[in-house]
Structure 1
Amino acid sequence: MKRYNLMLLLLSVIFFQACTQKQVKTTAAEEPKVWTSAQAKKWYNGEPWLIGSNYLPSTAINQLEMWQQDTFDTTTINRELGWAQSLGMNTMRVYLHDLPYQDDSTGFLNRIDIFLRIAKAHNIKPMFVIFDSCWDPFPKSGKQRAPKPFVHNSGWVQSPGREALKDTTQYARLEKYVKGLVGHFAQDSRILAWDVWNEPDNTNDSSYGKEELPQKAEHVIPLLKKTFEWARSARPSQPLTSAVWAGDWSSDTVLKPIQKLQLEESDVISFHNYDKPVDFENRIKQLERYNKPMICTEYMARPNGSTFEGFLPIAKKYHVGMINWGFVDGKSQTIYPWDSWQKKYTGEPPVWFHDIFRKEGTPYRAEETNFIKQMTGVTKT
């Protein structure tokens, strides 16, 4: 009898171990992974040549003013996305923020859905930005301040702000935001992609540098990794990405830890470039080693030599998606250059830094919008 009980016990242990191993293997197999090159190319081949702008309504100074209920301006959004459609644009890169989700998650998600309905009516599939490390590190919900006259992005705010970034007890709140947001729209074909974090290690030295969190990158890296994990756990049908934006990307050995993380975790590769056309092409060649589709999610600073005429033909040659900074001259005031934080301007600059349209819808440069139309096929050459 004792021998029988011992045998039964051994069989139970073996059965339990087998079941446990099977469960571990099944769970590991089902874990969502970074897209392979083949998966990324299949997705990209299903899209047209991507071209659009970073979009903020002209009536909003920042992400909060765009998305909060009191200032969510569907009339302006509809009108301005119509201008984008007239150029043949098919995407827009649009920034979200964690605070509207914290304040009213249901309302925020509903407003995103309304935005998506408007965008779809204009044949535009937006790329949504979840977090952003640029400009003011102290975001606050509610009424936003008025723009500082003639200053570039004088009211743009970071997400998460400095206080949340340094406080790991807020990770649970941020996790809820990321999973709730991406999970809600995970299978939504109206969304192009998720840009997990914009310029995550930007320390804003020329504007808010003295108010920034010391050793900012060290705080961002673990949260950036978790953000990719949170977003991916929602199993989105859309790709995840985070754009490298500065430094040397020429080989894996020279990448900073945060750049390595961005590139390794991105389903498709994205990057920023505000330099001259030759520099832009070099950046593309540097990133080709990843053998994945590429999207330039920020470019076009006219005085720097970053222009539609200089960049778009190169992008088409390499089949790189293109999303320029700035669409309409509005409360963000990005017609003024970055140096407007140090240099005093008293009127419209001699050459606009960013943006394509004036508030009433006339192009800043008609020859520029005509060129965009030629590149998108709206106007035949």
Structure 2
Amino acid sequence: MEVWTEERAWAWHRARPWTVGCNYIPSGCINLIEIWQEYGFERVAADMERELDLARSIGLNAVRMLLPFEVWRYQRDGFMERLERVLRMLDSRRMQLMPVFFDDCGRGPAENYDPLPSFGPQPEPQPGHHGGGPAAPCPNSRNPHYHYSDDRTNWPDMKRFVQDVAGAHRHDSRVLAWDIWNEPGNSGKDGRGNCSSSLEAMEAAFIWCREMEPSQPLTAGVWDFYHLDQENRRLGELTAIEKRAAELSDLISFHYYGDLSGTRRLIDSLKEWNRPLLVTEWLHRPFGNEAAEHLPLFLKEEIGCFHWGLVNGKTQTHEPWDWIADRPLDFSRWQHDLFLPDGTAYDEEEIKLFRRLAGAGASR
């Protein structure tokens, strides 16, 4: 199965209402294991029922969630049952899931990687850190940017993971699209996109998924637009691994946390691919990436959008990334998230805007 033609991609896009969703981590979870493992899932499910009601109440019709390979590997049957349960929760609210298979943001020192996950209770958050805690230091690492895909003995199980999930849901209307690889090339070092060791694994993952002949589109997002002051690149110019991700994608997905001017220029650049656009991460208030300006733009341009964060919780994504904490920015504003843990809106005007524009987009 080949990459969709432009005509097929646009036909898919035009047959749908505007996608307006969020990247979703339940507020009581600090990591993917805590979301998807067997231990404590009833508590997690109760949080999800309540929080997805909030999402739907403001007009969201989709969520994007990372699926943990390690949980599937060691708890396969239970994981598939829990995934089905999440899909039922979403469907009952007329929402869809955009699953993400793999993630380069998870790269880190090889010495810190444990191939056997620690199931059960997970660490508690450390106050003041985006993500729930500081990065674990390992200054003399033999491989500071390790990902389990670097070890090709993991590839057979990675293939089974992709094909098990995609095969079970290849014609499932509850699945919006398949996000093959989050931020390909993200080295984990100051957020720089200077790591290409995932390239062959990403290419393989696209093949594995396409072999299941899913009716949903495939994508992997371009994202490395934060360091243009240090790179001799124009906004929208892609690194080698990003370019390959776009070539393999049916839809062009992207991440951007910059201001409105930059967002417009990036959109103009990505339109050169002549495919539907989907922004799968946005909303960064200290960077000037605000809902008041961006949500109307995405609706006008018919760009599906997933902002980061729903209910503030253990991952503490209201805090700034550690690597920008010393910049002269206004950190009195939350970086991400829309609701406090008790369901109160962080910014009531934002919530009103979501409700109004999501309603308009539904009748597109």
| TM-score (norm: length of structure 2) | 0.86
Query: What is the aligned counterpart of 1:352 among 334, 340, 346?
Result: 334
Query: What is the aligned counterpart of 1:185 among 153, 169, 173?
Result: 169
Q: Does 1:38 align with 2:7?
A: yes
Change (3 A) 1:123 1:256: same
The separation in 1 between residues aligned to 2:275 and 2:32, in whole angstroms, is 30
Gaps of 5+ in 1: 1-31, 210-214, 344-348
The separation in 2 between residues aligned to 1:180 and 1:141, in whole angstroms, is 23
The percentage of counterpart residues that share the same residue type is: 34
Q: Does 1:151 align with 2:129?
A: yes
Alignment partner, residue 374 of structure 1: 356
The separation in 2 between residues aligned to 1:166 and 1:193, in whole angstroms, is 26
Q: Does 1:239 align with 2:224?
A: no
| CA offsets 1:341-379 (integer angstroms, 9 cap, x no match) | 866xxxxx6211100001111100111101111111289
The AA in structure 1 aligned to 2:253 is S
Greater Cα offset, 135-144 or 35-44? 135-144
Residue 156 (structure 1) shift: 10
The AA in structure 2 aligned to 1:176 is R
Residue 166 (structure 1) shift: 2.2
The AA in structure 1 aligned to 2:97 is P
Superposition map of 1:47-86 within 5 A: 47-72=16-41, 73-86=44-57
How much is the aligned-residue C-alpha RMSD, in angstroms?
2.4
Alignment partner, residue 302 of structure 1: 285
Q: Does 1:113 align with 2:90?
A: no
Gaps of 5+ in 2: 136-144, 226-232
SS at match of 2:131: coil
Superposition map of 1:138-177 within 5 A: 138=113, 140-143=117-120, 144-154=122-132, 162=146, 164-177=148-161
Alignment partner, residue 309 of structure 2: 326
| TM-score (norm: length of structure 1) | 0.82
Q: Which has the larger radius of gyration?
A: 1
Change (3 A) 1:187 1:194: same
| CA offsets 1:247-267 (integer angstroms, 9 cap, x no match) | 45767xx53220111110011
| CA offsets 1:202-241 (integer angstroms, 9 cap, x no match) | 112248x9xxxxx973320000000011011111111110
The AA in structure 2 aligned to 1:126 is L
Q: Do the aligned partners of 2:222 and 2:238 also contact (CA within 8 Å) in 1?
A: no
Alignment partner, residue 207 of structure 2: 229
Q: Do the aligned partners of 1:269 and 1:294 also contact (CA within 8 Å) in 2?
A: yes
The AA in structure 2 aligned to 1:317 is K
Q: Do the aligned partners of 2:235 and 2:265 also contact (CA within 8 Å) in 1?
A: no
The separation in 2 between residues aligned to 1:261 and 1:118, in whole angstroms, is 35
The separation in 2 between residues aligned to 1:284 and 1:153, in whole angstroms, is 28
Q: Do the aligned partners of 1:136 and 1:155 also contact (CA within 8 Å) in 2?
A: no
Q: Do the aligned partners of 1:100 and 1:141 also contact (CA within 8 Å) in 2?
A: no
Aligned residues: 333
Change (3 A) 1:44 1:163: closer
The AA in structure 2 aligned to 1:233 is E
Alignment partner, residue 139 of structure 2: none
| CA offsets 1:165-193 (integer angstroms, 9 cap, x no match) | 32111111111111111111111111101
Change (3 A) 1:299 1:156: farther
Residue 141 (structure 1) shift: 3.6
Change (3 A) 1:366 1:307: same
Higher share in helix: 1
| CA offsets 1:86-130 (integer angstroms, 9 cap, x no match) | 001101111111001100211111100000000111111111111
Query: What is the aligned counterpart of 1:198 among 160, 182, 195?
Result: 182
